[in-house]
A and B are shown apart, each in its own frame.
Chain A
Amino acid sequence: MFPFCFEWAWDMSHMVFMGGLWYALGIIGAGLTFAIVKSIFDSTGGGHGDHDDLGHH
């Protein structure tokens, strides 16, 4: 539910419940995005990680 939905009310219950959900989803989304973007950089040669050795495969 978002604040622009007709059921929304600016009360403590909505802010705590929905705020908690968005907070958790935000961390998960940001973490995942960071890992994917960094992997694209690393695999296209843009990264400087020390883990691009695929020799054991």
Chain B
Amino acid sequence: MKETPLIPEGVKRCSKWQFSLWMAAATAVLLWGVYAMFLIWYKGLNQTNMNDAYGFALWIWADLAVIALGGGAFFSGFLTYIIAKDELKNIINFAVIIGFICYSSALLILAIDIGQPLRGWFIFWHANVHSMLTEVAFCLSCYFAVLTIEFIPLILENPRISQKPFWHHLSHNMHGIMAVFAATGVFLSFFHQGSLGGVAGVLFGRPFAYREHIFIWPWTFFLFTWSAAACGPCFTILVTWITEKITRKKLVKDNVIELLAKISGWMILTYIIAKSIDTLYWAFVTAPDRGFTLMDFYASPTYNIGILFAEIILCGFVPGLILITRKGRENKFLLMTAVVLAVVGVSLNRWVMVLQVMAVPMFSFDDWYTYVPSWQEVATTVLPVAYGIIVISLAHRYLPVFPQEKELNPID
């Protein structure tokens, strides 16, 4: 009996030795991160350069950044299954994989950051129901379960697995009710993305972060959800483009990318207008009420006013305006420039809302706090990148991730 191949039918993949070499390089980086991770678990958080001023540091920035960038999964899922944008079915699998990688990475970083991962379940059992971070932990864990459920049918479509009737039917049945999971994912994402922003906005002792509220929610709650929905799809487009360059194949048709880019562009533009209004109100009303001027927050050589310009104009209005115009989307250079700027912009926003919040002096006798991460922190932050490369490589090689791949790359 002829054995069913592992690689999907009708697509071409690189040779086994090429793939092994590629995976070995990624695994080497992964092992470096794993070594640092065990060092931290074994010796404790003294392996980091966190201190009394920086209780939140590189890991929390990485956490917030990957969660924002992974927002492409929930927003693409919302557009595909709830709004019924059928073209996006050609990229939703990849968006889910990227989301799965981002959220599993976020949970891994949290497991390192809490120092005692064996007590991670305490947050569910001894929940502090007055903390926004409790809501984040709940929604993050539940949404990771949703992403895993969305990823499973794709794994079950591997030719070798799919020949077993039960797995074949399970894949089909899970696809059938995917809208329910996607809707649950949107609900969970709205709240955890928002609460991550809310954590900064409620810090009334830190005027750099504090914002006005609507009921119990500070403005940052809505801005974080909005920015994740706006810039997450850009990260999906960016990783798709990188995958196409590495595999030297076209994997998704231009009209699909351009539709996602157009929606993302409008989301970015509306987000950055709301962000600008929020910044102006904060700069001219909220901060002066607490005895600060705008320039007090940008008086450091590292955190100067240029960072605000970069976040709002360069990485906000510029990509938004490029992506809403047809010419901008159809020009590959402009499209990718806008996509990179949007990804940098949302990562920069999370940096500012975590690291700059910690750096700004709170009293007149304080100086700017400084922090340089230890190599263990850097290694454990690079770890998810290597892990992501490995998961994407395996998924692309063995699973039918891109429905248009066969049509775009016919085998003679």
Collect the chain B residues with CB atoms within 8 Å of residue A40's CB: 166
Report yes or no: B173 in contact with A17, Cβ–Cβ below 8 A: no
For residues 1 through 57 of chain A, which have their beta carbon under 8 Å from a beta carbon of chain B? 1, 5, 7, 13-14, 16-18, 20-21, 24-25, 27-28, 31-32, 34-36, 38-40, 42-43, 47, 49, 51-52, 54, 57
With both beta carbons as reference points, the residue of chain B lying nearest to A53 in the complex is identified as: B168
Q: B93-131 vs A: 1/0 string, CB under 8 Å?
A: 000000000000000000000000000000011110110
Report yes or no: B165 in contact with A35, Cβ–Cβ below 8 A: no
Report yes or no: A54 in contact with B166, Cβ–Cβ below 8 A: no
With both beta carbons as reference points, the residue of chain B lying nearest to A36 in the complex is identified as: B170
Stretch at the interface among B35-43, B142-150, B218-226, B268-276: B142-150
CB within 8 Å for A17 and B142 given contacts A24-B184, A28-B184? no
Closest approach, in angstroms, between the C-beta of B343 and any C-beta of chain A?
29
Report yes or no: B127 in contact with A1, Cβ–Cβ below 8 A: yes
With both beta carbons as reference points, the residue of chain B lying nearest to A15 in the complex is identified as: B129
Report yes or no: B169 in contact with A42, Cβ–Cβ below 8 A: yes
- The reply on B61 being an interface residue by CB < 8 A is no
CB within 8 Å for A1 and B134 given contacts A28-B146, A42-B169, A54-B168? no
CB within 8 Å for A42 and B173 given contacts A27-B184, A31-B180, A31-B181? yes
Inter-chain CA distance A9–B102, complex, in Å, is 35
CB within 8 A of A39: which of B126, B129, B139, B173? B173
Q: B315-336 vs A: 1/0 string, CB under 8 Å?
A: 0000000000000000000000
Collect the chain A residues with CB atoms within 8 Å of residue B139's CB: 24
Report yes or no: A20 in contact with B129, Cβ–Cβ below 8 A: no
With both beta carbons as reference points, the residue of chain B lying nearest to A24 in the complex is identified as: B142
Report yes or no: B174 in contact with A1, Cβ–Cβ below 8 A: no
With both beta carbons as reference points, the residue of chain B lying nearest to A14 in the complex is identified as: B129
- The reply on B135 being an interface residue by CB < 8 A is yes
Inter-chain CA distance A20–B190, complex, in Å, is 13
- The reply on B187 being an interface residue by CB < 8 A is yes
- The reply on B188 being an interface residue by CB < 8 A is yes
- The reply on B172 being an interface residue by CB < 8 A is yes
Q: B1-18 vs A: 1/0 string, CB under 8 Å?
A: 000100000000000000
CB within 8 A of B187: which of A1, A24, A52? A24
A-B pairs with beta carbons under 8 Å apart, 13 shown = A1-B125, A14-B129, A17-B135, A20-B138, A21-B124, A21-B142, A24-B138, A24-B139, A24-B184, A27-B184, A49-B172, A54-B163, A57-B168
